[in-house]
């Protein structure tokens, strides 16, 4: 399981740095910060390129600092650009905190599957609305109803 942390400024790097103080070297964690004056679209492209670069069978946890803010929104847009197989293995969790990130790393170290990890991480969210996954809407042929 890969972990991607997306935040405003250097907060993402700070989470990773703090985790390394606690756990030692951590692997499978990428951080991307949106910096003052940076184009939101360029930031989103960094997120997309990171996600597209992971093995298509690998699950990914994305931690974003704020619900519905630019890092969160660009993550949603990036996941939506992925093919269905890749996108089904990604979960986005908003309201990132150090305890939440540490639990994500713990789940990674335990080798937990994505759903088990997300169920544990829900304990660190305000509500289930803070956990997002791409939903697949089946298209129907309305002409068949007649």
Task: State how far the alpha carbon of 26 is from the alpha carbons of 72, 80, 101, in Å.
Answer: 23, 28, 12
Residue 10 C-beta-side C-alpha neighbours within 13 Å: 3
8 is catalytic: yes
Give burial (CB, 10 Å; 0-12/13-18/19+) of 24.
exposed
Which is catalytic among the residues 8, 16, 46, 134? 8
**Which active-site residues does the annotation give?**
8
């Amino acid at each position: 399981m890969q972990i991607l942390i997306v935040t405003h400024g250097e907060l993402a790097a700070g989470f990773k740095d703090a985790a390394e103080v606690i756990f030692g070297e951590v692997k499978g964690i990428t951080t991307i910060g949106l910096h003052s004056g940076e184009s939101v679209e360029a930031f989103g492209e960094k997120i997309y390129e990171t996600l597209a670069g992971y093995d298509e069978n690998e699950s990914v946890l994305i931690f974003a600092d704020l619900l519905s803010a630019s890092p969160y929104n660009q993550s949603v847009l990036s996941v939506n650009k992925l093919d269905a197989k890749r996108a089904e293995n990604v979960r986005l969790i908003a309201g990132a905190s150090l305890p939440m990130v540490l639990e994500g790393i713990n789940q990674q170290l335990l080798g937990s599957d994505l759903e088990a990890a997300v169920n544990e991480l829900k304990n660190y969210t305000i509500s289930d609305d803070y956990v997002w996954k791409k939903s697949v809407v089946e298209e129907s042929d309305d002409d068949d109803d007649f």
